[in-house]
Amino acid sequence: MGWPVICTDILPYQSFDAPVVRVKNTKEQWLQAIYEMVSDSERLTHSGDRLRQWVVDNFILQNHLQEWMLALTPLESGKIDAE
């Protein structure tokens, strides 16, 4: 969608080096991050564009079909019988 994201700095949002603004889970940190983000329209646009491109580059299925096929296809020596 191209929306900039502010999130609490916890494990799920620390993964894959996402271009998001991570803050401590305090009222002050959240308010400061929101204020800084909305006070700069160029930053809003740039952050949203970076996040959209990051998603396209890393998580669009069509761009990673070979990786998914390798992950979901059992190896010859490690085939699992359904019997």
Give, for all 83 residues of the chain, the pLDDT tens digit.
889 999 999 988 888 889 999 999 999 999 999 999 999 999 999 999 999 999 998 888 888 888 888 888 887 655 555 55
Phi-psi region of 28 (alpha: psi -120 to 50; beta: other; left: phi over 0): alpha
**Residue at 82 is within a domain:** no
Residue 30 lies in a domain: yes
Number of folded domains in the chain? 1
What does the pLDDT read at residue 64?
82
Locate tokens 């502010």: which residue?
A: 6
> What domain range includes position 56?
6-73
Identify the pLDDT of residue 43. 92
Residue 39 lies in a domain: yes
Please report the pLDDT score of residue 76 as a whole number.
Answer: 66
Enter the tokens of residue 3.
Answer: 């929306």
Q: Is residue 1 a part of any domain in this protein?
A: no
